[in-house]
Structure 1
Amino acid sequence: MDTVGIRNIGIYVPPEIKDSARIAKLSGIPEDVIRDKFGIVHVHEARQYETVSYMGIEAARKALDGFDPKNLDLVVYCGSEFKDYYLFNCAASIQHEIGAVNANAFEIHSLCSAGVYSLKVLKSMMLCDDSINHVLLVSSSKETQIINYKNHNSRFMFNFGDGAAAVLLEKGMDKNVILETHMISDGQFSEDVAVFGVGCRNFKEGEDIKCSDKYLDVPNINSMKERLDPVTLNNFNEVIAESVKKSGYENKDIGFIAPIFMKRSILENILGRYNLTEENSFVLEEFGHCQSADAFISLSEGRKKGRLKDGDIAVLLGAGTGYTWAATAVRWG
């Protein structure tokens, strides 16, 4: 019983799409730049009723696929902090709506690296607690609603798309086994990106939040880029290599990389370091950045396309503003 495996993955993306032409129109950035530099063909756009919890519930039901939710011991939400409501327990809502009446529920937040790192947290909990045998991990994002396309300081977030992923974990499963994780945190970036109009630092009783303060913002994009660009690629490669090393494997054993959204040129750079090609990964150009659901979408799509094969050492890769980089290795099949 010293293993935890991924029993199933469920993905939900809204049917409506926002293509590169529409993003170009909203932002004033040429469409060829959106497609070639930003790496977006289209993203999925949630309708009003497709809330963060709604999408998470839909993904959860797909992940369960015949598994009785009454047998879940834990439901964990690790997605966007922009949820249905401010200070809202999304995990509890999902637990209730899917009928997981015997499960506890809580949330893990680490922005866009939370999904990858939550696998480590939950694996550790499951192996340390005899009463936790089946866990449902859910990530969901509708952060497209808090992007101001006229604010080009936040242009690196114009690739956001809506969607959700859910992962059913099972203790004692010798299939799709979760191996080891590595993370790098660099808190110098902690205040570079935020919704600066919401929170206790600037809360004044009786004062309404200005509309412009409800959007994600990057007050000094040039400063962030000057500090971030020299380290981010190295940090991605370090967390990949260290997660594999901790798992008892070598870089040459990597067969698949399931990345967070990144433009093709960066992904190709990373893949090349491990003698891999796009056939060993998945480019999220028709999904966009769905927060910490990205790596699970990549894993699911890679499996559907036959790129993720039994016996592969797959590495799930994430990064979150703040700034954190994380990777978790999985022995697939």
Structure 2
Amino acid sequence: MRWNDIYIAGLGTRLPSPEPAETAVSEGRYSTQECKDNELISALVSESEPAVDMAAAAGRQAMARSGLDAEAVTLLLHAHTYHQGEDLWTPATYVQQHTIGGSAPSIQLNHGCDGGMVALHLAIPTLLAGPEGAAALLTTGDRFAPPGFNRWSSDIGLAFGDGGTAMVAARGGGVARVLATHSSSEPFFEGLYRDTDRGFTDAPHLAGTPLDLRGRKKRFAEREGLDTVMGRLSAALVENVEQTLAEAGTDLDQMVKIVLPNLGKPLLSWQLLAPLKIDLDRTLWEWGRRTAHIGAGDQFAGLTYLLESGQLRAGDLVVLVGVGIGYCWTTAVVQIEDVPDWSGPDAETLRVAG
């Protein structure tokens, strides 16, 4: 959908220190061959800070950078991929309590790695239906900790990084204007991340061992055919991105940067670069290979990095592409309105890059 009067007013991150991939290899937590193939340098690791606290810290930074009062926020959406620190609990209200307070609705989105992007897509109609100057605080937070998860080997083709990210979407102005967003899903792939052989369980992590997502994916690909899986994933991605660009009245050639999920190089290449026919240097690969995949927050963190590092100018177009299990895709085209100076000591994306 094409939008008017929707802006990104602030962005924030809370990113822990990176653990070198070589350390995980030396300790037997990461395959030597996969380390070589994926070409990932490190992954962000929170030793103790919970996912929700990282999300709240990012939210506070995004609000401060937006210049908006907490009272302007009429909606909070908190997205995540993995465990939030407690079962049968509402992490969104925790994030609200530790960011803006107040009585605005706060809602949890368990939408996989597309969660941050779909939060933006879903927040826009609420903002447009509300008063001028209304804002939405969108946060993500994930911590991929043992014993339930091995960030280096639970999945194939990528590693998982911890961190919190946030975006303030608002009416009336901001650092970037949201021209268009589009979200779609392909339920054929629901079983790609479900253990169809084992069946459903009565409680989480009953096996007491890290999740084996790669085994689920391999069995699905063997059953449906690898060519079918790759073909349908590529087609759905291209359709989503092309529709968003068309609604924004532009094309990929006009994009200054393309912000994609932070994946290992082979997976990034066949799942995203090849279908979209884009070169690696148009993406944030050199930064993303140092953070690894920050769950639902790659796109918010990536745009924050571009602004904190001064790589964008007023008028530049950027496309953000979200991909989540299920499978689902959400794309946004944004145009930079103003270039803030966010390069101070709290520019955590620059610390990671350094």
| TM-score with structure 1 setting the length | 0.84
Match of 1:12 among 11, 14, 17: 14
Give the fraction of aligned pairs with identical amino acids, expressed as a percent: 17
Kindly indicate whether residue 83 of structure 2 is the aligned counterpart of residue 82 of structure 1.
Answer: yes
Contact 1:254/1:274 (8 A) holds in 2: no
1:125 aligns with 2:126: yes
Q: Which residue of 2 aligns with 1:215?
A: 211
Against the structure 1 CA distance between its residues 234 and 106, is the aligned structure 2 distance closer, same or farther, given a 3 Å change threshold? same
| Structure 1, unaligned runs of 5 or more | none
How much has 1:13 moved relative to structure 2?
0.8
- Is the 8 Å Cα contact of residues 299 and 308 (structure 1) preserved in structure 2? no
Aligned partner of 1:136 in structure 2 is: 137
State the shift of 1:326 in Å: 2.2
Structure 1 residue 208, shift from structure 2 partner:
9.3
Contact 2:70/2:101 (CA < 8 Å) preserved in 1? yes
Name the residue aligned to 2:326. 322
Contact 2:144 2:150 in 1 (8 A): no
Kindly tell me: are residues 264 and 220 of structure 1, through their superposed partners in 2, closer, same or farther at Cα, counting changes over 3 Å?
closer
Within 5 Å, give how 1:189-204 maps onto structure 2: 189-194=189-194, 201-203=200-202
Paired residue for 1:26?
28
Partner of 2:155: 155
Partner of 1:53: 52
Question: Any residues of structure 2 matched to 1:234-249 within 5 Å, and which?
Answer: 234-249=235-250
Equivalents in 1 of 2:95, 2:72: separation in Å?
Answer: 15
Post-superposition offset of 1:222: 2.5
Q: 2:298 aligns with which of 285, 294, 302?
A: 294
**What is residue 256 of structure 2 aligned with on the other side?**
255
The total of aligned residue pairs comes to: 322
CA contact under 8 A between 1:71 and 1:134: conserved in structure 2? yes
- Equivalences for 1:36-51 in 2 at 5 Å? 36-48=36-48, 50-51=49-50
| 1:40 partner letter | L
Provide the rounded CA distance (Å) in 2 between the counterparts of 1:268 and 1:191: 23
Q: Whole-Å Cα distance in 1 between the matches of residues 308 and 195 of structure 2? A: 36
Deviates more, 1:122-131 or 1:2-11: 122-131
Tell me the CA shift for residue 323 of structure 1.
1.2
When residues 241 and 296 of structure 1 are mapped into structure 2, their CA distance, relative to the original with a 3 A threshold, is same
Farther off after superposition, 279-288 or 52-61: 279-288
Return the alpha-carbon distance in structure 2 between the equivalents of residues 157 and 147 of structure 1. 15
- Could you say if the C-alpha distance between residues 249 and 230 of structure 1 is closer, same or farther in structure 2, counting changes exceeding 3 Å? same
Q: Structure 1, residues 249-291: CA drift from partner, whole Å, max 9, x if none?
A: 2333222211111234665675688786555431201111011
The answer for the alignment partner of 2:347 in structure 1 is none
Report the 3-state secondary structure (helix = DSSP H, G, I; strand = E; otherwise coil) of the residue aligned with 2:256. Answer: strand
Q: What is the SS of the residue equivalent to 2:28?
A: helix
| Root mean square deviation, CA, Å | 3.1
Are 1:179 and 2:179 matched, yes or no? Answer: yes
Instruction: Sort the Cα spacing of 1:279 and 1:219 in 2 relative to 1 into closer, same or farther, 3 A.
Output: closer
Q: Aligned partner of 1:325: which letter?
A: W
Provide the C-alpha distance between the structure 2 equivalents of 1:114 and 1:276, rounded to a whole number of angstroms.
24
Distance, in Å, in 1 between the alignment partners of 2:151 and 2:310 is: 36
